[in-house]
Amino acid sequence: MKALARPGVVPYISAWSGEQPFRRPIVYDAARGGIGYADETPEDRDQYGVLWNGRTVAQGVGRPEYGNPHPQRQREAMQHLLCQGCRCPRDDDPRGVLWLLEDRRGDWAGWPNNLLTAHPPSCAPCIVKMRDSCPHLAETGHVAVRARSSEVCAVYGRLWAPSAFGVPVRTPKKDVVAYGSPAARWVLAGQLVRSLHDCTVVDLERELARHP
């Protein structure tokens, strides 16, 4: 297991300006009926066959890009339910796993049940650091939630489209794309998405009091 990120104000999953996006040619993959890399390897796709974007790994180099997750680190944290702040194991109790979410309680009755999120879980100590220092959370507002179950169900990424010339075209649209959908063959994934179920909004101060 890799070492935990150094405690501080920058979440583990955040990209840094020193981590450069990969620049690899996108081609049409006739066998899959969607996009692929010209120099593709098996590691470029996840277990469901979706193509993933990538960046170099140079954590701590340059400026932190708050609100812009590193594809590999976000996917790792979401897949294994690790804290997005420090990469420690999930904070779990009988009410479920602890998540720090953008506060959207006005969106529908019963929110956040069935919510699709690209935010990995958070441990209580990291919530303190992130809520006090992360510009993205300061802008959106936040709330602590416990979810008894969650399911990997989709990705968030850039959509590509076929063209008359046989070369895929990069569209301006980014979206959540469900696994198994036709669009999954045409998305370049950057974040893994889970659906949250059996959720309870919890008092953040009480959660923090459990971790003196």
Query: Which residue is listed with tokens 């340059």?
Result: 62
Query: Which phi and psi angles does 184 have, rounded to 5°?
Result: -65, -20
pLDDT of residue 1: 34
- Whole-number Å distance between alpha carbons of 19 and 144: 30
| pLDDT at residue 70 in the model | 97
Q: What value does the mean pLDDT of the chain take? A: 91
Q: Residue 162 pLDDT more than 80?
A: yes
- Beta-bridge mates of residue 189: 52, 157
Residue 157 has pLDDT above 80, yes or no: yes
> Sign of the C-alpha dihedral, residues 109, 103, 210, 78?
positive
- Residue pLDDT, tens place only, 173-202: 999 999 999 999 999 999 999 999 999 999
| Tokens (6 digits) for 23 | 């620049």
Which pLDDT tens digit goes with each residue over 1-45? 343 444 457 899 999 999 999 989 999 999 999 999 999 999 999
Residues of the chain with pLDDT > 90, as a percent, come to: 74
**What does the radius of gyration of the chain's CA atoms come to, in whole angstroms?**
18
More confident residue, 131 or 54: 54
Q: Which of 1-5, 65-69, 77-81 has the highest mean pLDDT?
A: 77-81
pLDDT tens-digit series, residues 92-108: 999 999 999 988 999 99
Look at the pTM and tell me if it is higher than 0.75. Answer: yes
Residue at token pair 């609100």: 67
pLDDT at 3: 37
What confidence score (pLDDT) does residue 205 get?
85
Model confidence at 86: pLDDT above 70? yes
pLDDT at 135: 62
Distance CA 10, CA 55 (A): 18
Region 193-212: mean pLDDT is 89
Which pLDDT score, from 0 to 100, does residue 144 have?
Answer: 92
